Chain A
């Protein structure tokens, strides 16, 4: 067996250009890793033949856990024996993706010794992705990770590794402590992350404000988005400063307000806060002058997902405002009621958003004991096919209201 890199004329084309090249990275790792040499070979073949050569594994993992390891085998093991096994490990990232170099270097050392030496920083859900190792190396890798306090994340029908924006660590707009909430719920639900017991996956994402930097609206079964209830804070001097420096406040700010709730008279900005939709645009454009109010918390939304199976969904409002302070008891109670119901009645591979579509939001709310409020809907129903549950019965000439 030779240590030389395989010939990869097609992949080599992707070392040209200014964007960082994944091919260069794999080649860098291939100096030390026979796995990466075979990976280059198989990938070049995929590029030639326009098809992938991986098989999905479903059993491998570390002892005791049902998630966090994605089994993968080459479909061409005779040709590329070093990637006959090429499993991925998902490692739960620290909240906000902050690191010190000591911790990162230790992860690198572990992965160089026990795996391919290539990673994703990070995967789409937020984990550190350690890309490619053998079944025999899974336990030793986990054992090393235990020593540096990094645990494995989620995969399969479980709570997926929660993620959050950097929140109060580096953002003036964060309406609650996203990193604290993310860490708290991650710790509270370790069993649900590591031992899949749900009909399908369940994702949390914590965004500090409606700009939603972690895309929780689109990619989290529970989207926890920071918001405020009182008035936008205005620094009048700073507004004047923006105007003086040439900002067209009418065109750039006022005319883009979706609620049309603001005015600029050339001197002062007036906001009719009762109609403000908390969209963030004006604050985004004038961060020195405007800020979210002081009565801050989060809106809790539920149900977003990608298309598989019944079509893509965005999350919809469940609780319009929640104070979002530790220990988050009410939120956890609600969450556990949702999980109980969904586990009891959800179908295999049915996300919670699809489950709600199937049983109806009204019935869902009743089952989780939450009162319906108009903030939950874009508009009331347009069709008259109502499942009325209250009616009068004739009773000895006297009408009495009864509930079914």
Chain B
């Protein structure tokens, strides 16, 4: 029960970050001069003051129990005066000014089952979504595929043997909580059948004008079914985006027989060299095959290794494909080019080849 002694507070926002900064960071805030990668997963930042800050980066696993967080805390207390941070890609980072702490810390992390790496020309941890662990609209699981893919690619996380950076991400439906649409390799959960309309419940749970307005291709129309207000769907116009389902739970698209994943390549967000790019469709459909999704694991490894073998130094997946051309990419990757690869939504014409810059 709520304690009556405590006054209820709202709108105070997050704690101020300064209280969580290690003293060496407070002292050198804004004064960092350069950094170097010392070995996989370890870098040093050197300040104008001459101070040195060492960072050890490990995969956190993203879904972690409170006991695991406590174990991280024990390590931070032991080696880093009680401070630690996380990164935008779900890595955990331990920061220390004591160089002698690096190797014992790495040893402890590895014993805990947390690989150290993800810095420099390597694969960093995968950004991903909730999947079947928590989401109502997931067309595939998330954590399971990520685990299987990263188990397989672990060498590229723990070592720095790639031509450039490689970012892999997974979103379990087109809502893309994980915003995978600008990744070197994106795994995207997809539906392939239109919603199954629950006419019994729809009129009670959903506002029909909202439902019809939610469809980007105007495939949903109001209809009376068995005397009840409901909707009908022009199935040929449905592109399985599931926006209607977000607005109305009586229009589920989940379908164990037809749901699966698609694989996208060549996106980036960094402005380094080439401007940011969207990922493009490489493989239109692979089946959901839990627990380890061998088809997906194999496809991703194939793409990583093809790029690693053929790209020039620093060249990201998208930069490499742009240089060699998409026909050569499909040929080298052994992916059959299909109708699904050709865009037919807005501005599709801009994606057609509008020149004779062809390779044979």
Contact = CB atoms under 8 A, between A and B. Distances in A.
Do A and B truly interact?
A: yes
Contacts of B346: 310-311
B241 A309 contact: yes
Interface string B126-137: 010101111111
A168 B133 contact: no
Interface string B47-67: 000000101000111111111
In this complex, the member of A49, A51, A143, A190 whose beta carbon has the largest number of chain B beta carbons within 10 angstroms is A51
Q: For chain A, what secondary structure do more than half of its interface residues adopt (helix, strand, loop), or is it mixed? A: mixed
Consensus secondary structure, chain B interface: loop
B89 to A, nearest CB: 9
A50 B65 contact: no
Interface residues of A, number: 129
A215 B165 CA distance: 14
A359 interface: no
A97 B175 CA distance: 25
A258 B147 contact: no
A73 to B, nearest CB: 9
Interface stretch (B2-10, B303-311, B324-332): B2-10
B92 interface: yes
Given A10-B291, A99-B20, A310-B216, A54 B88 contact: no
B230 interface: no
Contacts of A307: 174, 176, 181, 241
B243 A308 contact: yes
Interface residues of B, number: 116
A13 B292 CA distance: 8
A348 B353 CA distance: 36
A151 interface: yes
Interface string A187-201: 100110010000000
A101 B132 CA distance: 31
Interface string B207-239: 000100110100000000000000000000000
Contacts of B136: 52, 54-56, 72
A253 to B, nearest CB: 10
Contacts of B12: 146, 149, 151, 190
11 contacts: A20-B64, A25-B61, A105-B70, A105-B73, A118-B66, A120-B63, A121-B64, A123-B177, A172-B34, A312-B181, A312-B278
Given A10-B290, A150-B14, A190-B11, 7 more contacts: A24-B113, A100-B82, A108-B67, A143-B2, A171-B35, A218-B269, A311-B346
